[in-house]
Amino acid sequence: CMLASIAAAKFHELGLELGADKAWEYKSFQKEIGEMVAAQEMDFEDYLANFGLTERQFRNLVARDYYIEALQEYYFGANGEKAPSEEEMHQAFDENYFRVKHILISDKDATGADLTGDALAEKQALVQEVQDKLAAGEDFDALMEQYGEDPGMETNKDGYLIDKDGATLDGSFMVEEFTKGATALAVDEISEPVKSDFGWHIIKRVPATEQDFEDARYALIYALTGESINSLLSEWIEAAEVEYPEGHEELTIVDVLGEDAAAPSLDDLMGGAASSDTADASAE
């Protein structure tokens, strides 16, 4: 397709290379899919056919993605050709991103309906109880574990990374009341109870990490420059005059990464040569 052709052309024009780690990554990916397919008692070709793909097309899709990853790193990775300075990005991150935890005391019943009467009063008393314990110096995380009713905190023990508008990196948004309360805090500061449609939030801002910065890198670059790998690809496609050489449709991942990246057979994926190769690679 045009996208794959443009990505490949730019990759080679810049003299970029894919390391051996990509060959092993591809083999590992193939093995995982092979195990999943075998568990479903399907043939690998039949499995791909469900998605309208041949094995050759599947390999080419993987190759395309590797090219795009390499281009993204070249242009927008650390000290990339189009990336702002690390200092500028760190400043933008510090000004616009917040890592926060909260203790949610819900004001809803099991059906999602608003609590009333004594049930609501009990929850209001819990809010005060948590505040009193925090004022007495008890640990926020321990109280969050004891009282918190946000199921998301079960899988986000370190809290949520949000921007000043309440957006997370996966594109979801916090409610406005939560966002206002969270972004008003200094690091290590704890809010008064913030009321939203979900109940009461007692929010603590915690220090963001270097990994948070790395996770937000491409969002920061786009915010500062208006550019991303997708916008570059769109520009290149619009400007391209593509000529397809004879045999281009036959290119595979092997052509991209060399013979060591050849896709093993399904038997190999299930514990034959691919497993041996991986073991050998780990030993080196």
Q: Are residues 247 and 135 in the same domain?
A: no
Q: Mean pLDDT lowest for which of 131-145, 233-247, 256-270?
A: 256-270
Same domain, 184 and 231: no
CATH number at 157 reads 3.10.50.40
Residue 102, domain member (yes or no): yes
Q: Are residues 68 and 175 in the same domain?
A: no
For residues 59 and 105, membership in a common domain is answered with: no
Structural domain boundaries, residue 207: 90-215
Do 139 and 208 fall within a single domain? yes
Residue 247 · residue 255 · CB < 8 Å = no
| Average pLDDT of the chain to the nearest whole number | 86
Q: Determine, yes or no, domain membership for 222.
A: no
Instruction: Give dist(CA 203, CA 183) in Å, integer.
Output: 10
**218 vs 284, which has greater pLDDT?**
218
Take residue 130 and report the two structure tokens written for it.
């948590």
Q: Is 53 helix (H, G, I), strand (E, B) or coil?
A: coil
- What is the tens place of the pLDDT at every residue in 17-48? 887 788 788 888 888 888 998 898 888 888 88
Within-domain flag for 221: no
Tell me the pTM.
0.67
Domain boundary among 164, 187, 215: 215
Orientation of helix 2-13 relative to helix 55-76, angle to 10° = 50
Confidence bin at 186 (pLDDT 50/70/90):
very high
Candidate from 175-179, 209-213, 235-239 with smallest mean pLDDT = 235-239
Q: Are residues 255 and 182 in the same domain?
A: no
Q: Are 103 and 201 in contact (CB under 8 A)?
A: yes
Residues 29 and 57 occupy one common structural domain: yes
Please tell me the total count of domains within the chain: 2
Write the DSSP symbol of residue 260.
G
**Sheet containing 194-196, strands listed edge to edge, beginning at the edge strand earlier in sequence:** 160-163, 97-106, 199-206, 194-196
Taking only the tens place, the pLDDT of each residue in 192-214 is 999 999 999 999 999 999 999 99
Q: What are phi and psi of 153, to 5 degrees?
A: -70, -15
Residue 97 CB: number of other CB atoms within 10 A? 21
Q: Are 208 and 122 in the same domain? A: yes
